[in-house]
Amino acid sequence: MLNLTHARSFVTVIAARGVRAAARQLDLAPSTIVDHIRQLEAVLAAPLVVRQRGGAMPTDQGARFLPLARSLVETATRVRSLIHLPALRLAASSNVGTYLLQPHIAAFRQSAGIPVEQWIGSNSDVVARLERGEADLAAMEWWDGRPGFTARTWRREPLVIIVGPDHRWAGLGAVSVAEMQGEPLLGGESGTGTGYLLRRQLGSLAKSLNIIDGFGNTEAVKRAVRAGYGASIVMEASVADEVVTEQLVALRIEGVELEKEIKLIVPEALPPTAPARAMFEASLSWERGITT
């Protein structure tokens, strides 16, 4: 079986054009480097290095093996860096990452001294990153309870209908589901946290809503609503600034309490000392409005 240490010695000998130079770079004895090359040649059953007056050169077999050896060494280095990387890899759904998490991330980085690598995207893409091991902690708008992960409800975020200040609903304070059925609703399509919640809370009535998709993100939806294209259902936190400045009007739905349960999820296999575990536990105080 190939030995990575032997492969590294071989790559270094060729790059340094000599055993002694490679030994100095690797802080090993020249005899050790020679032994590594011999063992590697024995495993591969082929001569790999020829020593000439101008230095060490690869044989034909060594030249063919060289790019593979480099790839092995580079991959091992990347794996080692990834395994020992102290950074927390956080994946968040768009609205959660944009409107809710940033103060808590900043506070955690300052108090724990742990860098946080953020990735923000759709809920389905966040799940995919968790499944592939590309995220240590996820924050999203729904969770389906799949095995292998630990999930917690971090907070319950109210949803509101938003319209422009000149919309006919602007002075109502609340609208009924029946009134909503005749109004274009921007966003909230299948696959989004809002779409999931509407189907769960309204049941078959959700199918009667005139959902207009394709806006991509909440910022685009807000601009379209301000331009008069229709109404939308969004997290209250995402329109706080626009409501204060009277660019948008927030309304309730009569007889319906719409709240998103914002979930934090970590893989069960994550060790207790992992940075994601520390942030997961710190989130217990976030529910009380404290950032630690």
* Choice among 31-45, 62-76, 184-198 with the minimum mean pLDDT: 184-198
Q: What pLDDT, in 10s, does the model give residues 225-275?
A: 999 999 998 999 999 999 999 999 999 988 888 888 899 999 998 888 888
Superfamily for the 88-155+261-287 domain: Periplasmic binding protein-like II (3.40.190.10)
Residues of the chain with CATH 3.40.190.10: 88-155+261-287, 157-259
pLDDT for residue 70: 93
Average pLDDT over the chain, rounded to an integer: 87
Judged against a pLDDT cut of 90, whether residue 215 lies above it is answered with: no
Domain 4-84: which CATH number of 1.10.10.10, 1.10.4190.10, 3.40.50.300, 3.40.50.720: 1.10.10.10
Higher pLDDT, 86 or 106: 106
For residues 167-184, average pLDDT: 89
pLDDT for residue 292: 40
pLDDT for residue 87: 80
Residues of the chain with CATH 1.10.10.10: 4-84
pLDDT for residue 287: 57
Judged against a pLDDT cut of 80, whether residue 157 lies above it is answered with: yes
Superfamily for the 157-259 domain: Periplasmic binding protein-like II (3.40.190.10)
Stated length of the chain: 292
